[in-house]
Amino acid sequence: MKDSQILHVGKPNIGSREKFFQRMNQIMDNAWLTNRGPFVIELEKKIAAYLGVRHFISMCNGTVALEIAIRAMCLTGEVIIPSLTFIATAHALQWQEIQPVFCDIDPVSYCIDPKEIARHLTPRTTGIIGVHLYGRPCDMDALRTVAENHNLRLMFDAAHAFGCSYQGKMIGGFGDCEIFSFHATKVFNTFEGGGIATNNDALAEKIRLMQNFGFAGYDNVIYIGINGKMPEISAAMGLTNFECIDEFIEINRMNYQVYRECLKNIKGIKLMEYDESDQCNWQYIVAEVGDDYPLKREELIKKLHAENILVRRYFWPGCHKMEPYRSYYPNAGLLLPNTEKISSRLLVFPTGTAVNQEIIRRICSLL
């Protein structure tokens, strides 16, 4: 079986090769490969304008963006996050010896449930990281109220939410800052990459310094820093793909509609809905496999994989059941009933430019 015949979740969307190769040549001519070259600067400007934020600082990936944002915001002690997320959200804290405290999700939005946060607060709590899971926004108003009431900092892991909005405002401008991932599997990719969006000038300045080892000019280091820089080649890919972002999102939207139409009469398969009154990127096709479906989820996965349809279980079993958290907090699941139930049912299907109507109809007919 050739890999091209396998249907992956997360197959990259790739814009014009010609334009990308032109930019690659330009990089060679410039002999400027990294350290805030012209393509990085251009991409940052374009993304800041797209998100409607004062600052967008590109990064080498979303995980380092999270780590730097967490450090720049002086989060310490304990930070409340949902357990239903990619493991990077938790690891970015633990890597810095900050304890991720897992909070349950709302069963409809799959995002952190603001009503559940209070029970997790301790004198060591310093912040909340909401995750816009699958690009669907958290309940920002409720989260802001909880954060303000308890004097906590609030940031968002918006790794899935590039191109999405909340009540008409682009995601990127909420909380103290929001981080994005531009990994190959995302609706918009820079091979590897990501960034931090913020409207806070002082925070942006600190993030820029930390991303470059803490250098504030030649030979002058004023913070602990790391190397979080995006190279020019990634920015060239970003600029190329950014020219097609509307097209990629439109393809995702049409794919979603075909899935919706084909799945609507399949008992036991419930497709996750998006709020169409806001802008969505439609990047994840997520369904819950219910008890009334004739197969258990794992049996269904086996059958689909046998047909080379590599559906995924993002984000089963929840971070609290992965190491080291499973060992550190063996009873965390007791306060996470929605996370446990929903993660055991989720199934993510292929979408993006790699599929078309015919492929989607075939997948659904197998179901």
CB of 133 to ligand T4K, least distance (A): 7
- The residue (of 9 and 69) whose beta carbon lies closer to ligand T4K is 9
CB of 192 to ligand T4K, least distance (A): 6
- The residue (of 63 and 99) whose beta carbon lies closer to ligand T4K is 63
Is residue 69 classed exposed, middle or buried when 0-12, 13-18 and 19+ CB atoms within 10 A define those classes?
buried
Long-range CB contacts for residues 318-327, cutoff 8 Å, separation at least 24: 318/83, 318/84, 318/102, 318/343, 319/81, 319/83, 319/84, 319/85, 319/87, 319/89, 319/90, 319/100, 319/102, 320/83, 320/102, 322/87, 322/90, 324/94, 325/90, 325/94, 325/100, 325/102
Provide the binding-site residues for ligand T4K, judged by CB under 6 A. Answer: 8-12, 61-63, 85-86, 88-89, 131, 157, 159-160, 181, 183-185, 194, 310, 314
CB of 312 to ligand T4K, least distance (A): 7
Closest among 326, 350, 354 to 340, alpha carbons compared = 326
Cα(265)–Cα(60) distance, integer angstroms: 43
Cα(276)–Cα(300) distance, integer angstroms: 29
CB of 158 to ligand T4K, least distance (A): 8
- The residue (of 60 and 249) whose beta carbon lies closer to ligand T4K is 60
- The residue (of 188 and 314) whose beta carbon lies closer to ligand T4K is 314
- With a CB cutoff of 8 Å and minimum separation 6, the contacts of 327 are none
CB of 102 to ligand T4K, least distance (A): 14
- The residue (of 131 and 258) whose beta carbon lies closer to ligand T4K is 131
Is residue 34 classed exposed, middle or buried when 0-12, 13-18 and 19+ CB atoms within 10 A define those classes?
middle
Provide the token pair at 323: 């190491």
Q: CB of 278 within 8 A of CB of 168?
A: yes
CB of 299 to ligand T4K, least distance (A): 20
CB of 152 to ligand T4K, least distance (A): 20
CB of 284 to ligand T4K, least distance (A): 9
- The residue (of 149 and 356) whose beta carbon lies closer to ligand T4K is 356
- The residue (of 185 and 220) whose beta carbon lies closer to ligand T4K is 185
- The residue (of 179 and 262) whose beta carbon lies closer to ligand T4K is 179
CB of 128 to ligand T4K, least distance (A): 15
- The residue (of 216 and 359) whose beta carbon lies closer to ligand T4K is 359
Query: Peptide bond before 324: cis, by omega within 30 degrees of 0?
Result: yes
- With a CB cutoff of 8 Å and minimum separation 6, the contacts of 55 are 48, 196, 197, 198, 199, 200, 201, 204
Cα(48)–Cα(55) distance, integer angstroms: 6
**DSSP symbol at 335:** G
